[in-house]
Protein backbone atom coordinates (compact mmCIF):
# COMPACT_ATOMS: atom_id res chain seq x y z
CA UNK A 1 0.00 0.00 0.00
CA UNK A 2 2.85 2.42 0.82
CA UNK A 3 4.38 1.84 -2.63
CA UNK A 4 1.13 2.86 -4.31
CA UNK A 5 0.86 6.04 -2.24
CA UNK A 6 4.47 7.00 -2.98
CA UNK A 7 4.01 6.34 -6.71
CA UNK A 8 0.82 8.43 -6.74
CA UNK A 9 2.71 11.25 -5.02
CA UNK A 10 5.46 11.14 -7.64
CA UNK A 11 2.94 11.17 -10.50
CA UNK A 12 1.07 14.08 -8.97
CA UNK A 13 4.26 16.13 -8.50
CA UNK A 14 5.22 15.64 -12.15
CA UNK A 15 1.74 16.60 -13.36
CA UNK A 16 2.06 20.24 -12.29
CA UNK A 17 2.58 22.72 -15.13
CA UNK A 18 2.43 26.49 -15.47
CA UNK A 19 -0.15 28.36 -17.55
CA UNK A 20 -0.76 31.98 -18.55
CA UNK A 21 -2.04 33.92 -15.53
CA UNK A 22 -0.65 31.51 -12.92
CA UNK A 23 1.11 33.02 -9.91
CA UNK A 24 4.81 32.20 -9.53
CA UNK A 25 6.24 32.01 -6.01
CA UNK A 26 8.62 29.77 -4.04
CA UNK A 27 6.00 26.99 -3.89
CA UNK A 28 5.61 27.08 -7.68
CA UNK A 29 9.35 26.69 -8.13
CA UNK A 30 9.37 23.71 -5.75
CA UNK A 31 6.48 22.08 -7.65
CA UNK A 32 8.18 22.57 -11.04
CA UNK A 33 11.50 21.21 -9.76
CA UNK A 34 11.15 17.45 -10.03
CA UNK A 35 13.22 14.45 -11.06
CA UNK A 36 12.46 15.36 -14.70
CA UNK A 37 12.71 19.16 -14.64
CA UNK A 38 14.45 22.01 -12.84
CA UNK A 39 13.08 25.57 -12.50
CA UNK A 40 15.48 28.38 -11.62
CA UNK A 41 15.50 32.18 -11.71
CA UNK A 42 17.46 33.18 -14.81
CA UNK A 43 17.02 36.96 -15.13
CA UNK A 44 15.48 39.94 -13.37
CA UNK A 45 14.60 42.82 -15.69
CA UNK A 46 13.11 46.20 -14.84
CA UNK A 47 9.60 45.14 -15.90
CA UNK A 48 9.61 41.34 -15.51
CA UNK A 49 11.37 38.25 -14.21
CA UNK A 50 12.41 35.18 -16.20
CA UNK A 51 12.63 31.60 -14.95
CA UNK A 52 14.22 28.78 -16.92
CA UNK A 53 12.83 25.25 -16.77
CA UNK A 54 15.24 22.58 -18.03
CA UNK A 55 13.55 19.32 -19.00
CA UNK A 56 14.70 16.13 -20.67
CA UNK A 57 13.15 17.12 -24.01
CA UNK A 58 13.97 20.85 -24.02
CA UNK A 59 13.87 24.14 -22.16
CA UNK A 60 11.16 26.66 -21.34
CA UNK A 61 11.54 30.24 -20.22
CA UNK A 62 8.66 31.49 -18.09
CA UNK A 63 8.04 35.25 -18.26
CA UNK A 64 6.54 36.72 -15.08
CA UNK A 65 5.24 40.27 -14.64
CA UNK A 66 5.72 42.43 -11.54
CA UNK A 67 2.47 41.03 -10.07
CA UNK A 68 4.05 37.52 -10.11
CA UNK A 69 1.70 36.40 -12.92
CA UNK A 70 2.90 34.34 -15.88
CA UNK A 71 2.43 36.47 -18.99
CA UNK A 72 4.42 34.41 -21.45
CA UNK A 73 6.67 31.54 -22.43
CA UNK A 74 9.61 30.91 -24.73
CA UNK A 75 10.61 27.38 -25.62
CA UNK A 76 12.98 25.11 -27.46
CA UNK A 77 11.34 21.75 -27.07
CA UNK A 78 10.65 18.58 -29.07
CA UNK A 79 7.09 18.43 -27.72
CA UNK A 80 5.87 21.83 -26.46
CA UNK A 81 2.58 21.64 -24.58
CA UNK A 82 0.77 24.70 -25.91
CA UNK A 83 -2.60 23.62 -24.49
CA UNK A 84 -1.16 23.52 -20.96
CA UNK A 85 0.55 26.89 -21.45
CA UNK A 86 -2.79 28.41 -22.51
CA UNK A 87 -4.39 27.09 -19.34
CA UNK A 88 -8.10 27.33 -18.65
CA UNK A 89 -8.60 31.00 -19.52
CA UNK A 90 -11.56 30.93 -21.92
CA UNK A 91 -10.40 34.02 -23.86
CA UNK A 92 -6.91 32.71 -24.62
CA UNK A 93 -8.14 29.21 -25.44
CA UNK A 94 -10.97 30.44 -27.67
CA UNK A 95 -8.77 32.91 -29.58
CA UNK A 96 -6.09 30.25 -30.05
CA UNK A 97 -8.54 27.57 -31.21
CA UNK A 98 -10.22 29.94 -33.71
CA UNK A 99 -6.91 31.17 -35.17
CA UNK A 100 -5.46 27.63 -35.22
CA UNK A 101 -8.44 26.36 -37.22
CA UNK A 102 -7.80 29.09 -39.85
CA UNK A 103 -4.06 28.36 -40.26
CA UNK A 104 -2.74 27.15 -43.62
CA UNK A 105 -3.22 23.38 -43.95
CA UNK A 106 -0.05 21.36 -44.44
CA UNK A 107 2.21 23.78 -42.58
CA UNK A 108 2.93 21.60 -39.53
CA UNK A 109 6.26 23.05 -38.39
CA UNK A 110 5.24 26.73 -38.35
CA UNK A 111 2.54 28.47 -36.35
CA UNK A 112 1.77 32.21 -36.24
CA UNK A 113 -1.17 33.49 -34.18
CA UNK A 114 -1.77 37.14 -33.34
CA UNK A 115 -5.14 37.95 -31.78
CA UNK A 116 -6.44 40.71 -29.52
CA UNK A 117 -5.23 39.01 -26.32
CA UNK A 118 -2.68 36.43 -27.50
CA UNK A 119 0.46 36.15 -29.57
CA UNK A 120 1.96 32.74 -30.42
CA UNK A 121 4.76 31.91 -32.82
CA UNK A 122 6.47 28.57 -33.33
CA UNK A 123 8.96 27.23 -35.86
CA UNK A 124 10.85 23.99 -36.25
CA UNK A 125 12.87 21.96 -38.69
CA UNK A 126 11.86 18.36 -39.42
CA UNK A 127 13.18 16.05 -36.72
CA UNK A 128 14.36 18.91 -34.53
CA UNK A 129 12.90 20.81 -31.61
CA UNK A 130 10.32 23.55 -31.94
CA UNK A 131 11.32 27.09 -30.98
CA UNK A 132 8.53 29.40 -30.01
CA UNK A 133 6.97 32.00 -27.80
CA UNK A 134 3.57 32.83 -26.34
CA UNK A 135 2.45 36.10 -24.78
CA UNK A 136 -0.80 37.12 -23.11
CA UNK A 137 -1.00 40.75 -24.19
CA UNK A 138 -3.23 41.80 -21.28
CA UNK A 139 -0.75 40.41 -18.71
CA UNK A 140 2.47 41.59 -20.40
CA UNK A 141 4.32 44.59 -18.99
CA UNK A 142 3.65 47.85 -20.81
CA UNK A 143 6.66 49.75 -22.13
Q: Please report the DSSP string for 32-83 in residue order.
A: H-SSSEEEEEEEE-SSEEEEEEEETTEEEEEEEETTSBEEEEEEEESS--HH
pLDDT, tens only, 36-52: 889 999 999 999 999 99
Q: How confident is the model at residue 16 (pLDDT cuts 50, 70, 90)?
A: low
pLDDT, tens only, 78-87: 888 999 999 9
Lowest mean pLDDT among 24-28, 59-63, 72-76, 92-96: 24-28
Q: What pLDDT shows up at residue 138?
A: 96
Instruction: Share the mean pLDDT of the chain.
Output: 85
pTM across the whole model: 0.83
94 three-state secondary structure: helix
Asked whether the predicted pLDDT for residue 129 surpasses 50, the reply is yes
Q: How confident is the model at residue 35 (pLDDT cuts 50, 70, 90)?
A: confident
Q: Which residues contact 78 (CB under 8 A, 6 or more apart)?
A: 57, 58, 128, 129, 130
Q: What pLDDT shows up at residue 3?
A: 42
Q: Which residues contact 28 (CB under 8 A, 6 or more apart)?
A: 18, 22, 39
Asked whether the predicted pLDDT for residue 117 surpasses 70, the reply is yes
Amino acid sequence: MKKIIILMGLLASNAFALSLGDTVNSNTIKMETTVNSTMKLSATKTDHTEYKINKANGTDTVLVNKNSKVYGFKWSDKTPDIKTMLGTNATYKSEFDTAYAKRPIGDHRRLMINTEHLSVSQFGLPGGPFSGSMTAKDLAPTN
